[in-house]
A and B are shown apart, each in its own frame.
Chain A
Amino acid sequence: MRELKILGVVVFFTVFTYIGVNTYAYSVMKPAVAPADFQFKDLPRNDKIGDASRGAEVFMNAGCIGCHGLESQGIPAPMNDADAAASFGVVPPDLSNAGLIFDSHFLAAVIKNPAKAMLNDHKFNESNPHPMPNFYGLGGDIDQELADIVAYLQSIAPEKVSDEQVYVDACMQCHSIKYTGLMSNKDPILMAKYMGSVPPDLSMFIRSRGADYLETFINNPQKHLAGTAMPRVGLTQAAQEQVVAYIEYAGDRKKDERESLGIKVLGFMIILTILAYLWKVKIWREVH
C-alpha cells in the first residue's frame, strides 16, 4: 500500500511536469489554428457547369500554353526550365494533372486572379504583378469560360497519380527533397530573388513540423506564417494527403518497421515483466 502511495507521488510529479513542459508549453508556443478548409470558402463560388470541349478551345485561345506545358496532350512547355525561371522567377508548372490534384473552385479562382487565390496579394499588386496575369475573359461569360477551362483540365487529368507525382506538380517548383533525390531545378539565387529567401528542403519536415502542422500549413500557409511568400496551391484533400505521405516517405520511411517492431518489443517486455514479478514474489516470500 505504502509503495503504491509513493508510486502515486512519483507519477504525479512526472506527469505534472510532462504536461507543463510539453502539452501546456507547446499550446502557448504553437497556438491552435482553424482546421484545414478544403472547400476554399473564402473564394467566390462558381456554380456554372463547365463543358470540356468548349474548355479546350478557351484554354488554347486564352494563352495558357504561352507559358504552361500540357505534356499528356503532347504540348511541351514553351521554354526550358532555366529560361522560364529567368523570365518569370519561377517555372510555370505543367498542367497535365492539374484537374485531378487541384480543387475545381480554386482552379477557377486562380485562373481569374492568381495572387488573390494563392493568398499572395500582400506581395503581388499592380506595381509588382504576379507572373501569371489575371484572366479577364475572352468576351463571353467569364464564369462560364472559367468553368469550361476547369472542366477541360479535369477531362484530361488521369484518374490517379503517384504520391511523388503530386509532390512534383505541387511543390517541386520551389522545394527540393534531397533525401529522395528530387531536386528543384531552379537556380537558388533566382529563387531567393523571387521568394525572398531560398525555400527550405523538405526532407525532414515530417519530423521537424509534423503531419498535423503540414495539413493546415499546406492548405493555407498564411495561417501559420502570416505574410509568407509561399502561395496557397489549392490541393484537394486527397492530393494533399498524398503530398504529406510523400514527405513522410522522405523523412520517416522506417515508420512501419518502427511500429510493427514496437508492438513485438512491448509484448516481449510485458511477458518479461510478469516473469520478473513472479520470481520476485517467490524470492521475497522467503524473507518476509
Chain B
Amino acid sequence: MAQIKKANGIGDWFDQRLATKKLAKVMMTEYWIPKDINFLWAMGVVLVVMFKLLIISGIFLLMYYKPDAKLAFDSVNFTIMQEVEYGWLWRHIHAVAASFAFLVIYIHMFTAIYYGSYKNGREMIWISGMILFILFSTTAFTGYVLPWGQMSFWAAQVITNLFGGIPVVGDAVVTWIRGDFAVSDSTLTRFFMLHVFLLPLMIVFVIVIHFYSLRIPHVNNQEGADIDFDAEADKYLAGNKKESKVVPFWPVFLAKDFYVVCVTLVIFFFCVFFFYDFSLPGVNFEPANPMVTPKYIYPEWYFLWSYEVLRGFFFDIGPIKAMDIGLIAFAFANVIFVILPFLDRDPRVLPAHKRPRFKIWFWVLMFTMVILTIYGKLPPKGINNVIGFIASMTFITLFLIMPYITKKDAKGAK
C-alpha cells in the first residue's frame, strides 16, 4: 500500500490517492505535440466539442421525445419545437452539430490522407478513426429516422432495403432489421435504442481507443519529419522552448485548438440560429406517409457520395443486375477507406506535395468525392446518370491503382 501522509491541501489529498499530478503530466502538460502543425491539427478537438454538443442537446431532446410512430412527429415538431423552453434550440443544435461533425470528420480524414498520417505505425489511429466514422454514420442515420417525417420514413425504407441485396437471406435480414415486414413502429423503437444508447456508448469507447492509439506513434507534423520526442521534450523542459520541435498539449497546443474551436463555433451558431435548412430539410417537416414517396429522395449530404456510388451503376452487365453491381460498389466504397494504410505501398510518411504521383491522386480523389456528393443529390436522369457513373468508376479505379502509384513514388525517390 502506498504511503499516505496528512495532505497539505485538497490537491495533495487527491494526488496521494489518484496520482492526479502524474495524470495531468501524462495527459496534459507533458503530452508532446509537434510544433510544426497548422489549424487542421485542431479538428480532433473540434470534433470532441461537436460530440459534446450532440450529447448535451440530445439529453434535452430525450426528455420530451416519444419513440412511437403515432406520437414521434408531434413530440418533435410541437412539444420540442414550440412548447418546451429552448426545445427548438436543442433540436437545431443537434441537427446542425450532426452536419458539422461530418464536415469536420471529412476534413480530419482528408488531412490524414494528405499528410500520410495513416501509416508507418499510425495504422490503428486510422482504423479506429474509420470505425468511428462508421459508428457516426449509423448514429446519424438512426437519428434521422426518429422525427418520423417523410424523409425519415423513406430513408429507413431505402437503406434497410439495401440489405435485401445480400444473397439468399436478404429478405429475411431486411425483415429482421425492421422488426416488421415494413418500416413501422418497431423499426422506430429499435432505431431509437441504437441512437440514444448502444451507438453513443460504442462511440465513446472507440474514441478512447482512438486517443490512446495516438500516444505511441505520436501526432504527425506538416513535413512528415521524424522527431525524437524524448530529446525535444527535454529541450523544452530545459527552457529552450523556441528551439524545441515540440510543445505540450496543455496549454500550448490547446490554446491554438481553443481558438480554432471558437471560430468554428461562431460559424456553427450562425447556422443554428439563421442558416439551418441544410440540416433540417423541409421535406422532413411533413409527417411520414407510407403511401406517398416524396418526389425527390436523397440522404443527408454526408452520405451522398456513397449513395451515388450505389446509384452510379444503372445498367446490367451480362448476367449481373444493375442493382447488384451498385450494391457491390457501395460495399467497396464503405470498406475501402478502412484498409487505406495497406493500399499505400510507400513506406515514407510525407505530405502529398512531396509525393508527385500521390499528389495528383489525392486531388483527383477530392474532386471525385465532391462530384459524387453533388450528383448524389441531383435527380437520376439524363446526363446526371453518365456523370455519376464516370465519377463512381473514377472512385473505384483510384483505389485499385493506389498501390502502383505509391510504389512508383517510393521508387522515384531512390
Contact = CB atoms under 8 A, between A and B. Distances in A.
A22 B377 CA distance: 9
B268 to A, nearest CB: 9
B220 to A, nearest CB: 15
B23 interface: no
Interface string A183-211: 00000000000000000100110011110
B211 interface: no
Interface in B1-59: 35, 38-40
B282 interface: yes
Interface string B240-272: 011010010001100110110111011001101
Interface in A1-25: 2-3, 6-7, 10, 13-14, 16-18, 20-22, 24-25
Contacts of B283: 208
Contact of A262 (B103, B273, B377): B273
B82 interface: yes
B43 to A, nearest CB: 10
Contacts of B265: 269, 272-273
Given A3-B39, A29-B296, A269-B266, A21 B374 contact: yes
A17 B301 contact: yes
A200 B49 CA distance: 40
A34 interface: no
B156 interface: no
B374 A273 contact: no
Interface residues of A, number: 49
Given A22-B278, A262-B269, A284-B255, A6 B39 contact: yes
A284 B38 contact: no
Contacts of A14: 103
B82 A25 contact: no
B258 A280 contact: yes
Contacts of B82: 179, 251, 253-254
Given A258-B273, A261-B273, A262-B272, A273 B259 contact: yes
Contacts of B266: 266, 269-270, 273
Interface in B212-262: 241-242, 244, 247, 251-252, 255-256, 258-259, 261-262
A284 B304 contact: no
Contacts of A16: 370
A272 B78 contact: no
Contact of A25 (B92, B103, B280, B378): B378
A25 B282 CA distance: 14
Contacts of B272: 262, 265
Nearest to A22: B278
A138 interface: no
Contact of B282 (A18, A209, A261): A209
A179 B82 CA distance: 9
A276 B258 contact: yes
A265 B285 contact: no
B255 A20 contact: no
B259 A3 contact: no
B377 A20 contact: yes
Contacts of A262: 269-270, 272-274
A6 B38 contact: yes
Nearest to A24: B374
B389 interface: no
A117 B89 CA distance: 44
Contacts of A279: 255, 258-259
Given A6-B38, A28-B378, A262-B269, A20 B258 contact: no
Contact of A261 (B77, B89, B262): B89
A181 B92 CA distance: 25
A21 B304 contact: yes
B360 interface: no
Contacts of B78: 179, 203
Contact of B107 (A10, A265, A276, A288): A10
B366 interface: yes
A27 to B, nearest CB: 10
B273 A265 contact: yes
A273 B370 contact: no
Interface string A10-54: 100110111011101100110000000000000000000000000
A200 B286 CA distance: 9
Contacts of B152: none
A141 to B, nearest CB: 48
B373 interface: yes
A126 interface: no
A254 B88 contact: yes
A136 interface: no
B81 interface: yes
A277 interface: yes
Contacts of B269: 262, 265-266, 269
Interface string B58-101: 00000000000000000001100110000011001000000000
Interface in B263-305: 263, 265-266, 269-270, 272-274, 277-278, 280, 282-286, 295-296, 298, 301, 304
Given A29-B379, A203-B77, A3 B38 contact: yes
A262 B376 CA distance: 32
A57 B252 CA distance: 87
A260 to B, nearest CB: 9
Given A204-B286, A262-B269, A266-B270, A287 B370 contact: no
Given A3-B38, A179-B78, A254-B88, A20 B373 contact: yes
Interface string A239-278: 0000000000001111001110110011001101100110
Contacts of A207: 77, 280, 282, 285
13 contacts: A6-B40, A13-B366, A18-B278, A20-B373, A21-B278, A22-B278, A25-B374, A265-B269, A273-B262, A279-B259, A283-B255, A287-B247, A288-B242
Given A17-B374, A22-B277, 14 more contacts: A3-B38, A17-B301, A20-B373, A21-B278, A21-B373, A204-B286, A208-B283, A209-B282, A251-B82, A258-B89, A259-B273, A266-B273, A283-B256, A287-B247
Cβ-closest 4 pairs across A and B: A262-B273, A20-B374, A208-B285, A273-B262
Interface of A: 2-3, 6-7, 10, 13-14, 16-18, 20-22, 24-25, 28-29, 179, 200, 203-204, 207-210, 251-254, 257-259, 261-262, 265-266, 269-270, 272-273, 276-277, 279-280, 283-284, 286-288
